[in-house]
Amino acid sequence: AQKITQTQPGMFVQEKEAVTLDCTYDTSDPSYGLFWYKQPSSGEMIFLIYQGSYDQQNATEGRYSLNFQKARKSANLVISASQLGDSAMYFCAMREAGGNTGNQFYFGTGTSLTVIP
């Protein structure tokens, strides 16, 4: 089974509007971390936001917030007030605390976001 599932290959949003990028995850580990990264066309991976499995509140970082629904195993990224510079690929990732692979991250297949002026 896929550890991270992103079901939206591509999304469009009007500038200044909010957009939600979906992410569901699969783990039996009670302790895990969820991450979102942005990858512009330049190729670099930019860390956006982190949510720990034991965090009581949803993480927020500026215009980014993570809608964490633990029972549904979803960790959707919400971008408010979209800007043209938000156009990029967005990857959801998970790190499990257990296992013998140290700090291995599992990445989803990504969502391509296009912001329309």
Partner 1 sequence: SAVISQKPSRDICQRGTSLTIQCQVDSQVTMMFWYRQQPGQSLTLIATANQGSEATYESGFVIDKFPISRPNLTFSTLTVSNMSPEDSSIYLCSVAWARETQYFGPGTRLLVL
Interface contacts to partner 1, rule CB under 8 A: 33, 35, 37, 42-47, 50, 91, 95, 97, 101-105, 107-110
Compute the least distance from the CB of residue 65 to partner 1, in Å. Answer: 17
Q: Which is nearer to partner 1, 7 or 101 (CB)?
A: 101
Q: Which is nearer to partner 1, 60 or 104 (CB)?
A: 104
Q: From the centroid of its chain, how far is CA 16?
A: 20
> Going along 58-107, which residue ranges are E strands?
60-61, 64-69, 74-79, 88-96, 105-107
Compute the least distance from the CB of residue 105 to partner 1, in Å. Answer: 6
Compute the least distance from the CB of residue 108 to partner 1, in Å. Answer: 6
Of 116, 114, 87, 107, the closest CA to residue 37 belongs to: 107
Q: What is the C-alpha to C-alpha distance for residues 38 and 40, in angstroms, rounded to an integer?
A: 6
> How many of the other CB atoms lie within 10 Å of CB of 3?
17
Q: Which is nearer to partner 1, 78 or 107 (CB)?
A: 107
Q: Which is nearer to partner 1, 87 or 110 (CB)?
A: 110
